[in-house]
């Protein structure tokens, strides 16, 4: 049995959160196993103090810089930790080389994880786990869990995990909101245009909720570089909405969701953090598919127009029907279905 596992997930925030479901499955079956995650600096807060993770190594590098010295230092660090197994959730070359040269005796990689393309990176691994299901029709968290189910020959399903701890920042931000019966969080900007619902649609939803709910206070969450766009959305809405973009760590953000009554969001990393808190939520999908990226939360409703061209990998589209055809009326209906009595 493996006692000391290194997991590399040099991927974006949402994926890192989803990989914790697979780690939780390992922990459930082998509770004495120690799991260390290798992640990018920007997502480290998502796995530090995470109940499914024992330790974190942050790989701080820029893809175009000469980082041979850093690589050698990290290989030495990994060697010192005496891992007996490495699992790849990303199929990237850099962590493949790190685990190979560190001499970890068993190194596991999936045959596919983000697309169906074959990868030469698999030559650096001792075990290739065959993933046979359709990636676009399977929750990404299930793909990560299938890797560990097949390798360890175990069964079962787990949900993504996130740390839960006091947050003075979340308390202070909530205190900035006007007194209201409902606190409603919004995430208005995706990582690229075909994930970003229109400002006018968001404004129409917020205006209707403000008018028809007993009383509601609204706030927008996001990264620091989302702040200016959020201000534009607030201007379109036409009344005061708090802009919290860039004011939280990832754990502070999770605590904000625990204090919220409702979260309306586009498909982004914050969606999967929110899902771990159980907050009632409505997620709007553009070019991506909820079949693969639906938040794992019984209180979540996913909306998509299921255009024949979706899912797609375009960053920009002249006529994004996938976003246009998910309407404010559908979002408001979803809010009603979550138990909010709109007058």
Per-residue pLDDT of 153-170, as tens digits, reads 999 999 999 999 999 999
Instruction: Provide the mean pLDDT of the chain.
Output: 94
Cα(305)–Cα(286) distance, rounded to whole angstroms?
A: 8
Measured distance CA(123)–CA(11) in Å, rounded = 21
**Strand 300-303, strand 55-58: pairing:** unpaired
Instruction: Match domain 4-152 to its CATH number in 3.20.20.70, 3.20.20.140, 3.60.21.10, 3.40.50.2000.
Output: 3.40.50.2000
DSSP-derived letter for residue 122 is: G
E strand map for 201-304? 216-220, 242-243, 262-266, 281-284, 300-303
Q: Please report which confidence band the pLDDT of residue 206 belongs to, taking 50, 70 and 90 as the band edges.
A: very high
What is residue 210's predicted lDDT score, i.e. its pLDDT? Answer: 94
Say which range, 58-67, 142-151, 159-168, has the weakest mean pLDDT.
Answer: 58-67
Q: Could you tell me if 237 and 260 are in contact, meaning their C-beta atoms sit under 8 angstroms apart? A: no
Q: What is the CATH number of domain 168-337?
A: 3.40.50.2000
Q: Which regions of the chain carry the CATH code 3.40.50.2000?
A: 4-152, 168-337
| Angle of the 199-212 helix axis to the 227-237 helix axis, nearest 10 | 50
How does pLDDT run across 223-266, given as a tens digit for each residue? 999 999 999 999 999 999 999 999 999 999 999 999 999 999 99
* pTM higher than the cut 0.85: yes
């Amino acid at each position: 049995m493996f006692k000391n596992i290194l997991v590399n997930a040099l991927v974006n925030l949402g994926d890192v959160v989803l990989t914790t479901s697979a780690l939780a499955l390992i922990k459930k079956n082998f509770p004495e196993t120690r799991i260390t995650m290798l992640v990018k600096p920007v997502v480290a807060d998502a796995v530090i103090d995470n109940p499914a993770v024992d330790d974190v190594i942050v790989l701080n590098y820029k893809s175009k810089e000469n980082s041979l010295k850093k690589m050698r230092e990290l290989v030495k660090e990994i060697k010192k930790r005496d891992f007996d197994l490495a699992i790849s959730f990303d199929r990237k070359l850099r962590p493949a080389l790190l685990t190979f040269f560190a001499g970890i005796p068993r190194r596991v990689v999936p045959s596919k994880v983000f697309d169906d393309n074959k990868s030469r990176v698999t030559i650096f691994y001792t075990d290739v786990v065959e993933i046979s299901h359709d990636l676009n029709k399977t929750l990404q968290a299930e793909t990560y869990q299938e890797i560990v189910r097949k390798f360890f020959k175990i069964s079962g399903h787990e949900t993504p995990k996130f740390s839960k701890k006091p947050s003075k920042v979340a308390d202070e931000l909530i205190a900035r909101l006007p007194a209201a019966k409902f606190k409603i969080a919004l995430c208005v900007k995706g990582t690229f245009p075909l994930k970003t619902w229109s400002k006018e649609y968001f404004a129409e939803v917020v205006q209707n909720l403000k008018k028809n709910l007993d009383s509601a206070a609204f706030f927008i969450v996001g990264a620091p570089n989302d702040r200016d766009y959020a201000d534009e959305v607030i201007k379109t809405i036409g009344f005061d909405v708090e802009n919290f973009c860039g004011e939280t760590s990832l754990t502070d953000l999770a605590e904000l969701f625990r204090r919220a009554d409702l979260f309306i969001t586009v498909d982004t990393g914050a969606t999967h953090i929110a899902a771990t808190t159980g907050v009632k939520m409505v997620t709007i999908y553009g070019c991506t598919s909820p079949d693969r990226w639906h938040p794992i939360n019984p209180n979540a409703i996913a909306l998509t127009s299921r255009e024949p061209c979706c899912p797609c990998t375009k960053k920009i589209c002249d006529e994004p029907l996938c976003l246009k055809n998910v309407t404010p009326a559908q979002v408001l209906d979803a809010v009603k279905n979550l138990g909010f009595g709109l007058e």
